[in-house]
Amino acid sequence: MRTLSKDEALAALEESRNNVPARYAGCVMCALAEGALSPRLVVHETPHTVCVLDAFAARPGHLLVVARRHLRTLRDVPWEVHADMSRVAWRAARALEGRGAKRVYVAQLGSPVDLPTSYAHAHTHVVPVDEVDERARPAAVFSWSSGVVVYDPGEGEELAHTLALALATEA
């Protein structure tokens, strides 16, 4: 595991966007939801969502709950998808707390346009936070100013598997 600077992470993210198969019209989240990106870091799947280890993480163990359908804004998200995303995020947060996270931040996002560090596709961030100082402030956690965690080959898959087992035990 290593930390990329914000500039390095933005460049890597742009490269990732450029590697999305054409059938997804540039939507990284749609490609993630269908398992079209490598490595495949899936933690949990339901008919409406897929929960994956974030490849550009705020903290180790940072998860994304992604709507399978391309839904850009929260107004586009039907209740049954929202309810499923929320349930999966709740289970993921409980699993992260069960693994020792001092706190877990959950933030559901939607956007009409892509942003440099986000996508126009409904998704929920589930972020374990171990710090108890200024680094634990939400503004610090959800900023790339201190860098972005990326996983070495095999490391992300191993952590995703471990988190999948932990999430499977949550009701």
159-171 tens-digit pLDDT: 999 999 999 998 6
Q: What is the pTM of this model?
A: 0.93
Q: What are phi and psi of 67, to 5 degrees?
A: -65, 135
Range of the domain at 55: 2-168
Residues 153 and 92 sit within 8 Å (Cβ to Cβ): no
Alpha-carbon span 45 to 168, nearest angstrom:
11
pLDDT higher than 70, residue 103: yes
Residues 138 and 105 sit within 8 Å (Cβ to Cβ): yes
**Residue 101: CATH number of its domain:** 3.30.428.10
Structural domains in the chain (count) = 1
Angle at CA of residue 155, ends 31 and 20, nearest 5°: 20
Task: Tell me the per-residue pLDDT of 30-55, one tens digit each, with 9 for 90 and over.
Answer: 998 998 888 889 999 999 999 999 99
> For residue 114, what pLDDT band results from cuts at 50, 70 and 90?
low
Task: Tell me the per-residue pLDDT of 115-125, one tens digit each, with 9 for 90 and over.
Answer: 666 788 899 99
